[in-house]
Amino acid sequence: MKTVNDFNFKGKKALIRVDFNVPQDENLNVTDNTRIVSAKPTIDKIVKDGGSVILMTHLGRPKGEVSDKYSLKHIVDEVSKVLDVAVKFVDECVGVEAEQAAADLQAGEVLLVENLRFHSEEEKGDAEFAKQLSKLGDIYVNDAFGTAHRAHASTAVIAQYFPAAKCFGLLMAKELNAIQKVLKTGEKPVTAILGGSKVSSKITIIENILPVIDNLIIGGGMTYTFIKAQGGKIGKSICEDDKQALALDILKKAKEKNVKVYLPEDTVVADGFDNNANTQIVETKNIPDDWEGLDVGPKTIEAFSKVILDSKTILWNGPLGVFEMPNFAKGTIAIGDAIGAATKNGAFSLVGGGDSVAFVKQNNYTDKVSYVSTGGGAMLESLEGKELPGVAAVLKD
């Protein structure tokens, strides 16, 4: 796997696909610059070598139409601030003007080109569009893990025009190494904690990771499909009735592979889907009619924490309860604490995929785990065992 560290960029123009799809407020000010900060090490390395940088990214979903709202001109100041360089901007990403702006760059200079998705060819993975983009630089760098699962012109198709001059950025390399550390080289015992609302959205991940894990901890809404399938009473808890057979099949496969499965023994149930609803703690397999399970109970927290503390490699995806409501966030917080403690004791922990990342950020766990993935969909597809087009294109000879 080649990264920017394998190249000397002196006198070269690096064309970097970054993911600067940042959140903005109503005045289009950037409200969270994490994605820009994450790309900084790659850009710094190239600038330090004496190269120049052309940044390309998408922002929002302009669907092939030019619009002021999605123009990257609104993020230039923030990018300049984070990179500590006066970033230049050109209001096209292909064509004469863009090519000239790229050609004019001096060593150490950084250019941001306009939103790739102003051209519908980007998402279609159009080869001619990719070829035009390729004219902007000498070396192609893919540092956009968040879009690596898309076979778009700038994320995958373009790589063919740089047969001997393509590599990953440092963020991308970190993401890929973290996943590798769990799925390929993880020190045992390896524990996966999967939560969230539905079995159906996690099934492919579970099937793919079963051969490499020792423990599977299941929490969140998908618990109840498993419990009902085993003959338990789940009251009004969330359940995918048509996935009960699948749940039993997972348990069977786990047994065959000697994977220990941990389901919540007790549950915090509520008489409504409301933070202020009445609650009680009951056995998960014995939830009264009209009550629904919204968080794991204290016995479960203790049991899950013990497994986590004994683990050397930990993967966490999905909350253990309805963490958006403070009264049902205790289980998710306790599991975050246990993962933090295990990490402190030397375990490698990877948190990834949508809601768990939001949770980790909101609750300041970022520094307590080994790695928080920045790419929701790309991370989930990697865990599902799928080859990411953006990765495959750079690895290809």
Angle, CA 62 vertex, CA 60 and CA 67 arms, to 5°? 110
Active site residues: 35, 198, 354, 377
Closest distance to ligand AMP from the beta carbon of 355 (Å): 4
How many Å separate Cα 192 from the centre of its chain?
A: 16
Partners of 142 in the β-ladder: 17, 168
What's the closest the beta carbon of residue 153 comes to ligand AMP, in angstroms?
29
**125 binds ligand AMP, rule: CB under 6 A:** no
Spatial separation of the C-alpha atoms in residues 68 and 87, rounded to whole Å: 19
The interface mask with ligand AMP, positions 311-340, x = CB under 6 A, is -------xx-xx-x----------------
- Nearer residue to ligand AMP within complex by CB, 62 or 318: 318
| Between 249 and 324, CB nearer to ligand AMP | 324
Q: How far is the CB of 220 from ligand AMP (least distance, A)?
A: 4
Residue 294 touches ligand AMP, criterion: CB under 6 A? yes
Q: Which is nearer to ligand AMP, 223 or 343 (CB)?
A: 223
Cα 137 off chain centre by: 28
Residue found under tokens 């200079």: 109
For 220: left if phi > 0, alpha if psi spans -120 to 50, otherwise beta; the answer is left
DSSP class per residue in 86-132: --EEES-SSSHHHHHHHHTPPTT-EEEE--GGGSHHHHHT-HHHHHH
Rule CB under 6 A: say whether 109 interacts with ligand AMP.
no
User: Among residues 62, 169, 186, 196, which is the contact residue for ligand AMP, using CB under 6 A?
Assistant: 196
How far is residue 281 from each of residues 194, 239, 264, 329, measured CA to CA in Å?
Answer: 22, 19, 12, 14
Specify the residue, 311 or 332, whose C-beta has the smaller distance to ligand AMP.
Answer: 332
Nearer to ligand AMP, 214 or 292 (CB): 292
* Residue ranges in 350-369 that form contacts with ligand AMP under rule CB under 6 A: 354-355
Chain residues 200-229 in contact with ligand AMP, contact rule CB under 6 A: 201, 220-221
By three-state DSSP, how is residue 193 classified?
strand
d(CA 72, CA 109): 18
Q: In terms of Cα–Cα distance, which of 286, 297, 296 is closest to 235?
A: 286
**Residues near ligand AMP (CB under 6 A):** 195-198, 201, 220-221, 238, 293-294, 318-319, 321-322, 324, 354-355
